Amino acid sequence: MRKIADLDRFDRQLLALVRQNNLEPARVLADKIGLSLSAVLRRLRRLRDEKVIVADIAVVNPALTGSALTMHVLVQMQQAGPQTMDNFARAIVHHPEITGAWDITGEDDFLLKVQVGSMEEYDAFTRRALGEDKGVHSFTTLIAIRNIIENDVARRPLRDG
Amino acid sequence: MRKIADLDRFDRQLLALVRQNNLEPARVLADKIGLSLSAVLRRLRRLRDEKVIVADIAVVNPALTGSALTMHVLVQMQQAGPQTMDNFARAIVHHPEITGAWDITGEDDFLLKVQVGSMEEYDAFTRRALGEDKGVHSFTTLIAIRNIIENDVARRPLRDG
DNA sequence: TATGAAATGCCATAACC
DNA sequence: GGTTATGGCATTTCATA
C-alpha cells in the first residue's frame, strides 16, 4: 500500500475534495487546487488504481437504509496472545454482518459492530462467528435501541417499503 | 422526507447499485434494471434533489484517513430517564469527534465512537462532552489498538504525511 | 405524470509536447 | 505537468401514452 508520505499536497487536496463530492467535474477541481485538468484526471485515476480511493459511492439517507438491529459485541478471547488475536482478526473480516471491528484495551479483547435484520439473524451470526472453536472465551452484547449518529457506509440491502 | 413506500422497485434497484458504485454510466444501470437511459437519469436526479441520496463521495482508504486514535466510550448517566437521555443525545450530535453514537441496553446507557488526533485531544473532548453537568455519571474508555474493520465515512481532515 | 428517442453540449480520455 | 483532438456521456427537448 502507498505510504502517506507519497501523497503530495495536490493529492491530499484532491482527496479532501472528492471525499465530500466525487461528482464534481475535474475541471472545477483543477481550478480549486491550481492544477491543470489532465493532472487532476491522472492523479484521480492513480489514486483509484492504487486503492487510495477504495470506492465511489452514493450515500443514502440512513432512515431508508438503517438496519433493523445494530449490535456491539465485546469479545473476550480464551487467551489473548498475538497468534489467537491475529487469527480471529483475520477470520472476522469475511463476515458481512460486521461493519466495524477493533482490537481494544481493557477487560475485553475485541469490539465488534454488527448489523443484522433480526434477532434470529444475530443468533445465527454469533454461532457462526463467535463459536468457541474460534478461540472466543465469552462475549457481551450491547443492543442499540436507537442510532443517534451513524456515519457508516452501509452495504446492506435496502429495507423494503 | 420521502417515505420508503414512495420508492418503487426501480428506485430501490438504482439505490442498491449506486450505493456500491456511483460512477457507473447511467446506460449500464439502465440495462441492469431494464429501464431507458432517460428514465434512469431522471430518477437519479430526483433521488438526489429529494435528499434520498444525501451525498456522492469517494471513500478513502482508512489507513490514510483514520484518526490517530479511535476510542469507544461506554457512558452511564446519573439517571437514565427519557428526559436526560434525550438531552444528552441532542447534545452530542454537535461534537465532530463523535462518529457514532447509540442508545444501548445493559449496564451502560450510551456507546460513543470517538475519533481524535491525540490523547490530549481526547482528554479535552471528555471534559467538553462528558462533564457532570451533562448528566453523565461515569464513563469507560475502550482504546482501539488497531482498526480491523472501519466502514465509516470519515469527514475529518486527512492526516498530514 | 410517467416513459422513450434524438440533438446538443460538456467532460473524460488519450496521445503528444 | 500542460495542451489538444477525439469519443462518450449526461443533458435537454420533444413526442407519446
Q: Answer with the residue of higher pLDDT: A67 or A75.
A: A75
pLDDT of residue A35 exceeding 70, the answer is yes
Quick one: pLDDT at residue A159? 44
B155: exposed, middle or buried (Cβ count in 10 Å: 0-12, 13-18, 19+): middle
Quick one: pLDDT at residue B68? 75
Contact A55 B103 (CB under 8 A): no
Same domain, A98 and A40: no
Say if CB B102 and CB A115 are below 8 A apart: no
Same domain, A82 and A139: yes
Asked if the Cβ of residue A46 lies within 7 A of any atom of strand C, the reply is no
Same domain, B73 and B120: yes
Same domain, B38 and B66: no
Same domain, B97 and B27: no
Quick one: pLDDT at residue B161? 35
Nearest to A19 among B57, B105, B146 (CB): B57
A66 pLDDT band, cuts 50/70/90, is low
Across chain A, mean pLDDT equals 87
Residue A159 maps to a domain: no
Long-range contacts made by residues A34-40, C-beta under 8 angstroms, separation at least 24?
A35/A10, A39/A10, A40/A14
Same domain, B137 and B72: yes
Q: Residue A97 and residue A134: Cα distance in Å, rounded?
A: 17
Q: From the CA of A110, how many Å to the nearest CA of chain B?
A: 9
Q: From the CA of B107, how many Å to the nearest CA of chain A?
A: 9
Same domain, A88 and A124: yes
How distant is C1' of C13 from CA of A16, in Å? 24
Across chain B, mean pLDDT equals 87
B155 pLDDT band, cuts 50/70/90, is very low
Quick one: pLDDT at residue A127? 96
A-chain residues near B106 (CB < 8 A) = 140, 142-143
pLDDT of residue A153 exceeding 80, the answer is no
Secondary structure element (H or E) that encloses residue A129, with its range: helix A119-129
Residues with Cβ within 8 Å of residue A83, at least 6 apart in sequence: none
Average pLDDT over residues A17-40: 94
Query: Is the pTM value of this prediction over 0.85?
Result: no
Residue A107 maps to a domain: yes
Quick one: pLDDT at residue B60? 82
Contact A102 B145 (CB under 8 A): yes
Domain range for A18 is: 9-49
Average pLDDT over residues A54-71: 79
A-chain residues near B155 (CB < 8 A) = 19-20, 151
Specify the range with the lowest mean pLDDT, choosing from A18-27, A91-100, A125-134.
A91-100
Q: Answer with the residue of higher pLDDT: B154 or B22.
A: B22
Q: Answer with the residue of higher pLDDT: A32 or A59.
A: A32
Contact A153 B59 (CB under 8 A): yes
Same domain, B70 and B91: yes
Residue A57 maps to a domain: no
A36 pLDDT band, cuts 50/70/90, is very high
Residue A149 maps to a domain: no
pLDDT tens, residue by residue, B81-125: 999 999 999 999 888 788 889 999 999 999 999 988 889 999 999
Residue A3 maps to a domain: no
Average pLDDT over residues A51-59: 87
Nearest to B111 by CA among B96, B124, B99: B99
Quick one: pLDDT at residue B78? 95
Nearest to B161 among A7, A54, A140 (CB): A7
Mutation to test the B interface, candidates A23, A40, A47, A64, most B Cβ within 10 Å: A64
* Side-chain-facing half-sphere of B26: CA atoms under 13 Å: 11
CATH code where residue A39 lies = 1.10.10
B81: exposed, middle or buried (Cβ count in 10 Å: 0-12, 13-18, 19+): exposed
Which nucleotide is closest to A23, CA to C1'? C11
Contact B4 A152 (CB under 8 A): no
Quick one: pLDDT at residue B144? 95
Average pLDDT over residues B14-23: 91
Nearest to A104 among B63, B103, B144 (CB): B144
Quick one: pLDDT at residue A59? 83
Quick one: pLDDT at residue A117? 83
Same domain, A70 and A44: no
Q: Answer with the residue of higher pLDDT: A5 or B78.
A: B78
Say if CB B85 and CB A132 are below 8 A apart: no
Residue B156 maps to a domain: no
Nearest to A140 by CA among B149, B68, B140: B140
CATH code where residue B137 lies = 3.30.70.920
Which residue in chain B is spatially nearest to A56 when comparing CA positions?
B58
In chain B, the number of structural domains is 2
Distance of CA B93 to the CA centre of its chain: 11
- Give the phi and the psi of residue B112 in degrees, each rounded to 5: -115, 140
Quick one: pLDDT at residue A20? 84
Residue A40 maps to a domain: yes
Q: What count of other Cβ atoms lies within 10 Å of the Cβ of residue A107?
A: 10
A135 is written with which cell numbers?
A: 478461540
Same domain, B73 and B16: no
Q: Residue A148 and residue A102: Cα distance in Å, rounded?
A: 20
Say if CB A150 and CB B112 are below 8 A apart: no
Asked if the Cβ of residue B138 lies within 7 A of any atom of strand C, the reply is no
Residue A130 maps to a domain: yes
Same domain, A80 and A139: yes
Quick one: pLDDT at residue A150? 74
Same domain, B33 and B88: no
DSSP B94-159: T-TTEEEEEEESSS-SEEEEEEESSHHHHHHHHHHHS-GGGTEEEEEEEEEEEEEEE-B---SPPP
Mutual orientation of helices B37-49 and B26-33 as an angle, nearest 10°? 110
Residues with Cβ within 8 Å of residue B121, at least 6 apart in sequence: B69, B97
